[in-house]
Amino acid sequence: QKEVEQNSGPLSVPEGAIASLNCTYSDRGSQSFFWYRQYSGKSPELIMSIYSNGDKEDGRFTAQLNKASQYVSLLIRDSQPSDSATYLCAVNPSFYNQGGKLIFGQGTELSVKP
């Protein structure tokens, strides 16, 4: 079982729709979770961080965390063609002295069609 799993996609949604990106993780003690966006040929850009169960909203983005189910998701409302990118889920593992180590999923490719 991979430590952080994402569907690789591609996920295709029409412009204006809601895009839903999902991520599961194996370390039940993980405490911090991050979503990054990566355009082709560029480096990852931080979108959201979430640490507590529930929803966290920032503009058109909503991150959802369910620690009991070991599940974190990212919703993008009113999707735009400029949102087309690979979305990376990252988890900070809980084992002692791991500091800021992030474990990434393989990423989900999102395509927003005009």
Partner 1 sequence: DAGVTQSPTHLIKTRGQHVTLRCSPISGHKSVSWYQQVLGQGPQFIFQYYEKEERGRGNFPDRFSARQFPNYSSELNVNALLLGDSALYLCASSSTGGSYNEQFFGPGTRLTVL
Q: Contact positions toward partner 1, by CB under 8 A?
A: 4, 31-32, 34, 36, 42-46, 49, 51, 88, 90, 92, 97-107
3-state secondary structure 20-82: EEEEEECCCCCCEEEEEEECCCCCCEEEEEECCCEEEEECCEEEEEECCCCEEEEEECCCCHH
Measured from the CB of residue 67, what is the shortest distance to partner 1 in angstroms?
14
Mapped onto helix, strand or coil, the DSSP state of residue 101 is coil
Smaller CB separation from partner 1, 40 or 82: 40
Smaller CB separation from partner 1, 76 or 89: 89
Measured from the CB of residue 35, what is the shortest distance to partner 1 in angstroms?
11
